[in-house]
Amino acid sequence: MAKNWWKIACVLILLYVIIGGFSVKVPSIGNNQQAARSIFFHLPMWMCMYTLLAISVVNSVWYLATNDLRRDIRASSAGSIGVLFGMMGFATGMLWSTYTWGGTIVNDPKQMTTAIALTIYMAYLVLRLSFTDLDKRARVSAIFNVFAFALLIPLTYIIPRMVESLHPGSATSPGFSSQDTAGTIKMVLWPAFLGWTLLGIWIYTLRNRYKRLVLKNILHG
């Protein structure tokens, strides 16, 4: 139990986020209306994805330095759960944009570059399936993962900030600085980042432990 305190914290934070996300007063701006509440669930998906994919690339580099297969298992588990959260973020964004921007996939640069980045990561997962030799798979996919992460940050974080976009935080729209966001939203949004990220890490550790059990004989033999 002592080691699991963060899982309990994660559940309590997320219960606060779900209840608070529906209860707090949000400013009704433009055609966003009450759909503004989506931010408590849509944005944390991306924060969770960034965290997991960062864990993945760190473990990939660590594998290349040590040739320890357990590092490769960590990298692949974090990568697949990161893609899962990315796809959930994309799906929630599609629903949100349908009723506020007037289209499921619109000409928004952030939406497009994110789709590209997610496709690159799906290619990483497919690449892993194409090997039979464990060491070769680990080495090649670790190198691919480094390139994928090196593309993820400019594609989803830097380019959308330099061009015009419907998303907040682009060249022409305000971001989430202290003057722009209502206090009630921030009260729920910061815990939401933490809570959803912890949930993602929890699922990642479960997958990692399962994969280690599957490869138990190879790892200890």
Partner 1 sequence: MVKRLSYLLFACFMLSLTSVFGQDTARTVTEAVQQQNTETGPVNEFFRSNAKIYVPMGILVIIFIAIVLYLVRLDRRLTKLEKE
Residues that bind partner 1 (CB under 8 A): 4, 7, 11, 14-15, 18-19, 21-23, 34, 202-203, 206, 209-210, 213
**Phi/psi at 180 (nearest 5 deg)?**
-95, -20
Smaller CB separation from partner 1, 14 or 155: 14
**H or E segment to which residue 162 belongs:** helix 159-162
How long, in residues, is the chain? 221
Q: How far is the CB of 5 from partner 1 (least distance, A)?
A: 14
Q: How far is CA 94 from CA 30, 77, 103, in A?
A: 19, 26, 8
Smaller CB separation from partner 1, 190 or 210: 210
Q: How far is the CB of 202 from partner 1 (least distance, A)?
A: 6
DSSP for residue 18: H
Smaller CB separation from partner 1, 31 or 119: 31
Q: How far is the CB of 205 from partner 1 (least distance, A)?
A: 8
Q: How far is CA 87 from CA 49, 69, 84, 93, 114, in A?
A: 9, 27, 5, 10, 10
* Residue carrying structure tokens 């305000």: 174
Q: How far is the CB of 153 from partner 1 (least distance, A)?
A: 30
Separation CA 199–CA 161 (nearest Å): 28
Q: How far is the CB of 33 from partner 1 (least distance, A)?
A: 12
Smaller CB separation from partner 1, 15 or 150: 15
Smaller CB separation from partner 1, 13 or 53: 13
Distance of CA 37 to the CA centre of its chain: 19
Q: How far is the CB of 1 from partner 1 (least distance, A)?
A: 12
Smaller CB separation from partner 1, 70 or 139: 70
Smaller CB separation from partner 1, 40 or 101: 40
Per-residue burial over 102-120, b = 16 or more CB atoms within 10 Å of its CB, e = otherwise = eeeeeebbbbbbbeebbeb
Q: How far is the CB of 2 from partner 1 (least distance, A)?
A: 14
- Taking phi over 0 as left and psi of -120 to 50 as alpha, with beta for the rest, 181 belongs to beta
